[in-house]
Homo-oligomer: A and B are copies of this chain.
Amino acid sequence: MAVSNLEYPAVRTFTAKGLATRERIVVAASSLMLEHGVDAAKLEDIQAEARVSASQLYHYFEDKSALILAVIDHQTDAVLGMHRQILVRLDSFTALQEWRDLIVASIESNQCVGGCPLGSLASGLAESDPLARAALAKSFAEWQRMLRVGLETMRDHGELRADIDAESLSLSILASVQGGLLLSQTRRDSDAVRASVDMAIAYLKTLR
């Protein structure tokens, strides 16, 4: 479920074939925007990559801004969908360690190329596209919420102290993940994200 769909123009009703075409455009746009930057990804290149005509593209997206919001939804579904699988059952330090391993394995499987798709989109769009910035803030808020609920569950299971500030902790941990992924992307090694997430977990362990 894409968070930003809640407040932005809903996807119109398309046929199954139409939805498949729309999805092909969004996947092509995501790929080009993350590889070359949002501005460098030209509509003509997206058309070519998705094998659609200009009129088909404009049938689904009235302008590039609409396409950018669809890319944010798409990446939000992908990234949060992956993290949700572990965060939804976060109730112990063992599960927290599994989540940490997922983050490390995910960036290592790409040789640290690309960093976090949501972080990259946020950095590239925050100053140029207010709607995109707001949509990405919502995506981060949902990611943080999943983490917060997990920390609260750990607290309720007696794995963390009763007086933890789960709101602030979840925000800090998400920042550690984002900063670690950005430094790992820039350095092309996973040491940064390993160190930063491990520090966050080590701090949580002092709150047992």
Chain A residues within CB distance 8 Å of chain B? 34-40, 113-115, 119-120, 122-124, 126-128, 133, 136-137, 140-141, 168-169, 171-180, 182-183, 185-188, 191-193, 195-196, 198-200, 202-203, 206
Contact = CB atoms under 8 A, between A and B. Distances in A.
A36 B198 CA distance: 35
A172 B194 CA distance: 9
A192 B206 CA distance: 21
A34 B127 contact: yes
Given A123-B182, A136-B186, 20 more contacts: A35-B128, A36-B39, A37-B38, A37-B39, A37-B124, A39-B39, A113-B127, A119-B123, A123-B185, A137-B186, A137-B187, A171-B192, A172-B176, A172-B195, A175-B180, A175-B182, A176-B176, A177-B179, A202-B203, A203-B203
Nearest to A199: B172
A46 to B, nearest CB: 15
